[in-house]
Amino acid sequence: MTTKTDLKQYGNVINGKKAPAETNKWMDSIDPATGKAWAKIPLSTKNDVDAACNAASKAFTEWSNLSARQRGDYLRKIGDVLSNYVEELLELETKNNGWVLDEYRYTGIVLKQIWHDAAGAAPIVGSQGKTTQMGMGNFGYTLRVPYGVVLGIIPWNAGLFTFTMKAAYALAAGNTVIIKPSEHAAVASLRYGEILAEYLPPGVVNVISGLGNEIGDELVSHKKVNKVSLTGSKGTAKAITNASSSDPKSLVFELGGKSPNIVFADANLENAANGVINGIFTRNAGQICAAGSRILIQRSIYDEMLSLIKTKMTNPGSIKYGDTLDSNNTMGPIANKAQYEKVCAYLETGVKEGAEIVFGGRFGGAELLPNQPEFEEGYWVEPTLFKAKSNDLRICQEEIFGPVAVAIPFDDEEEAVQIANDTKYGLAAGVWTNDLQCAHRMVEKVQAGNVWVNTYALVGPDLPFGGFKDSGYGTDSVLEYTREKASVIHYG
């Protein structure tokens, strides 16, 4: 039997070396499938923050002085060797946040593509400047230069992906990096940092674990941190903004969403139903920032579409819960206890508000996995669909971040746009229609940083990913990690 003292310890990665927190204090990492501790991670303090920032700052001079092609060679090598580690990393991430392993395998391909894309983009950064003849014997030009030390703060729901997006593009631009993973899901990121340290010069990538309210402000306000990129919540964004006010720096925020998935009567309903389901119910139990949690359906097909979605979701075997390392299972638990309690509270709120449950609504390991006692204390929530008459309910306006969606009817294109934009968020949207003109109008009118037509949540390094309104600003891209410098040369 494994006891807490037997749990494997995963250290910080600072200046190319694995290390415990200076105080040698640790936190438990909890497996959301069982609710039990399975590993230990460092409980870092200010001294560990100073060590990480100093290491990254020192490494910046050497790293930024490399040619773009030399940096690209490092990044390409990482992409090439990543296949040797991806199975290990994915299993750690699954234990971190409850993603079913089969659902997460795509990350092995995507991570490699991002590193290779960053490697190819590194030489392009230098060609992004412009020149101008200013007259009177003056010649002007601009160039792109790195910021210095970039702090990447990543969430618990997609740690490996967001780690890679921030680190690969920041490194390509000539910066060095510090990654602060969520205390709820740090193990995979700490191990990822160890692997990267084998292929990069010391201090180029550092990973530090700890409580956000203890080391977050210290990292953000540190004099040697020049840029902060957050994927997380609006509350964390506010805290970062406040912490950086004494030492202003460039900020990138990719925050939450309440994204509409809009189905028109002329759409292929079979494809639309699959897209709606995949957009909220089968990807990490709805715990993705771009989840299509508001399903807008044209009134003439409203009942038909709801019936089709319900049939697909309630057929025997359509959703399989259980061991997240078993690829035969299709949905995992909520990633941590606090989030589980929040999702359960919203299920109760929806009923109190008068919304009708189309399917789902149950929660708890003992409830959903009655014959598997090892999961009784896990954070399990059944996929749940409400239907509501208007967009005014809390479950329609507030981000739940779980496998919970609400279906809302609309009459025409104008009303669909009005409902879609009636939210403080603006991260993503889906549009299902066979009318090309309607599709183009919706892309233009819906206030979201990403609009997908007849597909959903298709992301990759080819396009930026960012939001409008309370969903943030900026993107994880190579140019975002550079700043423009201007020069004037007088030759007359």
Instruction: Please list the rounded mean pLDDT of every run of 10 residues in the chain (492 residues).
Output: 69 97 96 96 98 98 96 97 93 93 78 93 84 90 95 95 96 98 97 98 98 94 97 92 90 96 98 96 88 98 98 91 88 95 97 96 94 93 96 98 98 98 97 98 98 92 87 90 94 86
> Can you give the pLDDT at residue 104?
75
Distance CA 209, CA 219 (A): 11
> Can you give the pLDDT at residue 4?
55
> Does 196 share its domain with 319?
no
Per the DSSP assignment, residues forming a β-bridge with 363 are 381
> Does 251 share its domain with 271?
no
Helix axes 86-97, 159-172, angle to 10 degrees: 130
> Does 64 share its domain with 206?
yes
Residue with tokens 């299920």: 347
| All residues at 6 or more sequence positions from 31 whose CB lies less than 8 Å from its CB, including other chains | 37, 38, 95, 98, 378
> Does 44 share its domain with 141?
yes
Distance CA 443, CA 273 (A): 20
Say if 467 falls within a structural domain: no
Say if 492 falls within a structural domain: no
CATH number, residue 273? 3.40.309.10
Pick from 118, 120, 234: which is nearest to 177 by CA?
118
Q: Which two tokens stand for residue 414?
A: 């104008």
Residue 283 gets which letter from DSSP? Answer: S
> Does 285 share its domain with 227?
no
Say if 95 falls within a structural domain: yes
Note if the pTM is more than 0.85: yes
Per the annotation, the verdict on 254 as an active-site residue is: yes
Q: Which of 194, 289, 399, 480 is catalytic?
A: 289
> Does 239 share its domain with 346?
no
Distance CA 60, CA 174 (A): 8
How many other β-carbons are positioned within 10 Å of the β-carbon of residue 395?
23
> Does 326 share its domain with 452?
yes
Say if 71 falls within a structural domain: yes
Alpha helices in 315-422 (DSSP H): 337-352, 365-368, 394-397, 413-421
Pick from 416, 381, 380: which is nearest to 294 by CA?
416
> Does 22 share its domain with 70?
yes
Helix (H, G, I), strand (E, B) or coil at 229: strand
> Does 397 share its domain with 421?
yes
What one-letter code names the amino acid at 54? N
Number of domains in the chain: 2
CATH number, residue 107? 3.40.605.10
Q: Which of 103, 194, 218, 254 is catalytic?
A: 254
Give the distance from CA 179 to its chain's centroid. Answer: 14
**Domain enclosing residue 204, as ranges:** 4-255+473-487
> Does 196 share its domain with 241?
yes
| Count of all residues that appear for the chain in the document | 492
> Does 250 share its domain with 268?
no
